Amino acid sequence: MIKFKKFYVTTGIDYVNAPPHVGHAYEKICADIIARWHRLKGENVFFLTGTDEHGEKVEEAAKISGKEPEEFVEEITSTFKETWKILNISYDDFIRTTEKRHEEIVAKLVKKNFDNGDVYKGEYEGWFCVPCETFWTELQLKNGKCPTCGRKVQKLKEEAYFFKLSKYQEKLLNFYEKNPEFLSPSFRANEIINRVKAGLKDICITRSSKWGVPFPIDNRFTIYVWVDALVNYISALDWPEEKFKKFWPADLHLIGKEINWFHTVIWPAILFSAGIEPPKKVFCHGWLTAEKQKISKSLGNVIDPVYLAKKYSTDSLRYFLVKEIPFGEDGDFSENSLIARINGELVADLGNLVYRVLSLAEKFDGEIEGKVELEKKLDLRKIEESMEKLELHNALNGIWNFIRATNKYVNEKEPWKLKGKELGEVIYNLLEALRVIAILVSPSLPSSAEKINQQLGVKAGLLKDCKFKKFEGKIKKGEYLFRKVE
Ligand SMILES: [Zn+2]
């Protein structure tokens, strides 16, 4: 039996207190591109996304809209699923934290932490911010308000259960040292390491809210929504059964930088306590602003990704977000920059190339063969390296270098002046270049890649097919891939 390399990639699961905006879409698109790339490499990929449906924040949003939490989360989750379908997000599983399969495993994991002596009863007193789901100490407050969002906090004192996070300080520091890839991108590592070095406090892992997974030790409580949410990465694999054994540890948790602490400190500690290996890598992408402003409901600049996909095409939106923002850094969404990239890079570089090559090929009735000339313009290794380093924007730059080199080849060869064997050779090189380009753009532009393949009359290839060979397609020229935006 051939054993395929596995690749397990996850996204953050989204809080369902409001429908998805372009920031949510950005993360899913990037994860999708990474998953599709690993499929191109012939790996056995498992790509997970989902929704985080418990907690006070969701309960409150449901109340405001006059609905029961069950009904409310059902509606919002379906808008998330609908959006990912429109954006061509090829997830293998979608986990909802209100599903039975998830809740059972959350309870089982917390029970294991308890059995291993890492959960104890105590008393919690602190200032609680409902929108942030976070307890603050007196010292942490800013002018008596939540230091994160600036909203009012409430004083809460209650009996609660705690997880012995403090016990794992050394183990975490050792782990970071031995696995420098774990904290990614590397410029975010020091912040976490320094905070862990400064000392870890035990964390309260229960709440008295009803909208959550019942705490298995004491049914007056539910499990803190953050612990509940993190477990999705193994509940979707049916821990500790077969699927878990096949895909765990995760190769990549892709998340927003605001939840780095939960993923790189609390999550591995909970896993250590349960005797489970931590994930291999947690990569934080940056934040997206919209026309240089923070995206938020209160600012009213929440951009609907479905609106953009319908107006400009899904592939255009996907391309723009990845090309515009160096992966890992913050970036800005602006409709003008989107239009500039569509007209400059998608229409002028890629779309025109496909159209002019197919026009030439369709009219030509000689043999499509000859010397391989264009292949050397492709630096596949560099593109692969960029993808391995998760420099998605650089990988696109590498692919575009080849697209531009192919356009240049057309201009230099002036095929409209050629005939017969000479023309057949130029067309051969161009068609093979297009076939390879379709493979390389398929993770970021899946439907355009499909259209190119249809026009060339070839099947979708894998990364190993990015070598020039005999052209075996059957030409059927189609429409322009992209339309110029005026
Ligand atoms: Zn807050």
Gap from CA of 141 to ligand 1 centroid (Å)? 10
CB contact set of 6 (below 8 Å; sequence gap of 6+): 43, 44, 45, 46, 246, 247, 251
307-328 pLDDT, tens per residue? 999 999 999 999 999 999 999 9
pLDDT beyond 80 at 441: yes
Over residues 256-269, mean pLDDT: 97
Establish if 458 belongs to a structural domain: yes
Gap from CA of 134 to ligand 1 centroid (Å)? 7
Gap from CA of 227 to ligand 1 centroid (Å)? 18
Over residues 18-42, mean pLDDT: 96
How high is the mean pLDDT of the chain? 95
Token reading at 389: 């380093």
182-216 pLDDT, tens per residue? 999 999 999 999 999 999 999 999 988 889 999 99
Gap from CA of 129 to ligand 1 centroid (Å)? 5
Measured in degrees and rounded to the nearest 5, phi and psi for residue 67 equal -125, 160
Establish if 396 belongs to a structural domain: yes
What is the share, in percent, of the chain residues with pLDDT greater than 70? 98
Lowest-pLDDT range, 198-212, 222-236, 381-395? Answer: 198-212
Establish if 367 belongs to a structural domain: yes
Gap from CA of 147 to ligand 1 centroid (Å)? 7
Gap from CA of 73 to ligand 1 centroid (Å)? 22
Gap from CA of 459 to ligand 1 centroid (Å)? 51
pLDDT at 136: 81
* Cα torsion 140, 142, 145, 150: sign: negative
Lowest-pLDDT range, 122-136, 397-411, 451-465? Answer: 122-136
Residues 431, 468 contacting (CB under 8 angstroms): no
pLDDT at 157: 84
pLDDT at 55: 86
Lowest-pLDDT range, 101-115, 160-174, 258-272, 292-306? Answer: 292-306
Establish if 409 belongs to a structural domain: yes
Gap from CA of 56 to ligand 1 centroid (Å)? 12
Residues 16, 63 contacting (CB under 8 angstroms): no
pLDDT at 301: 67
- Picking from 31, 12, 16, the residue whose alpha carbon sits closest to that of residue 88 is 31
Over residues 143-168, mean pLDDT: 92
**What is the distance between the alpha carbons of residues 183 and 329, in angstroms, rounded to a whole number?**
15
Establish if 388 belongs to a structural domain: yes
pLDDT at 307: 93
- Picking from 360, 455, 366, the residue whose alpha carbon sits closest to that of residue 410 is 360
Gap from CA of 153 to ligand 1 centroid (Å)? 8
HSE-up (13 A, CA, CB side) for residue 359:
11
pLDDT at 407: 98
**What is the distance between the alpha carbons of residues 323 and 167, in angstroms, rounded to a whole number?**
43
Gap from CA of 297 to ligand 1 centroid (Å)? 15
Q: Cα torsion for 132, 133, 137, 138, to the nearest 10°? A: 60
Residues 466, 440 contacting (CB under 8 angstroms): yes
pLDDT beyond 60 at 336: yes
Gap from CA of 52 to ligand 1 centroid (Å)? 18
**In terms of residue numbers, what domain contains 371?**
335-465
Gap from CA of 326 to ligand 1 centroid (Å)? 29
pLDDT band at residue 293 using 50, 70 and 90 as cut-offs: confident
pLDDT band at residue 449 using 50, 70 and 90 as cut-offs: very high
Q: Kindly report the length of the chain.
A: 486
Token reading at 54: 């418990």
Establish if 63 belongs to a structural domain: no
CATH number where 461 lies:
1.10.730.10
Tell me the C-alpha to C-alpha distance, in Å, between residue 166 and each of 17, 172, 199, 214, 230.
32, 10, 7, 24, 19
Lowest-pLDDT range, 126-130, 181-185, 442-446? Answer: 126-130
Gap from CA of 140 to ligand 1 centroid (Å)? 12
Lowest-pLDDT range, 50-59, 229-238, 245-254, 436-445? Answer: 50-59
Gap from CA of 149 to ligand 1 centroid (Å)? 4
> Residue 136 forms beta bridges with which residues?
127
pLDDT at 298: 67
Residue found by looking up tokens 């029970």 in the block: 111
Token reading at 357: 């090559």
Over residues 39-62, mean pLDDT: 94
Gap from CA of 258 to ligand 1 centroid (Å)? 13
What is the share, in percent, of the chain residues with pLDDT greater than 90? 87
Establish if 170 belongs to a structural domain: no
72-100 pLDDT, tens per residue? 999 999 999 999 999 999 999 999 999 99
Gap from CA of 423 to ligand 1 centroid (Å)? 66
Gap from CA of 250 to ligand 1 centroid (Å)? 30
- Picking from 233, 264, 157, 161, the residue whose alpha carbon sits closest to that of residue 203 is 161
**What is the distance between the alpha carbons of residues 152 and 80, in angstroms, rounded to a whole number?**
29
Gap from CA of 209 to ligand 1 centroid (Å)? 18
Q: Near ion ligand 1, which residues have CB within 5 Å?
A: 129, 131-132, 146, 148-149, 151
231-251 pLDDT, tens per residue? 999 999 999 999 999 999 999
Burial class for 197, CB neighbours closer than 10 Å (0-12, 13-18, 19+): exposed
Domain count of the chain? Answer: 1
pTM: 0.94
**What is the distance between the alpha carbons of residues 144 and 136, in angstroms, rounded to a whole number?**
10
Residues 440, 467 contacting (CB under 8 angstroms): no
Gap from CA of 377 to ligand 1 centroid (Å)? 52
**What is the distance between the alpha carbons of residues 195 and 198, in angstroms, rounded to a whole number?**
5
| Inter-axis angle of helices 392-413 and 380-388, nearest 10 | 160
pLDDT beyond 60 at 1: no
Establish if 318 belongs to a structural domain: no
How many Å from the N-terminal Cα to the C-terminal Cα in the chain? 55
Gap from CA of 183 to ligand 1 centroid (Å)? 26
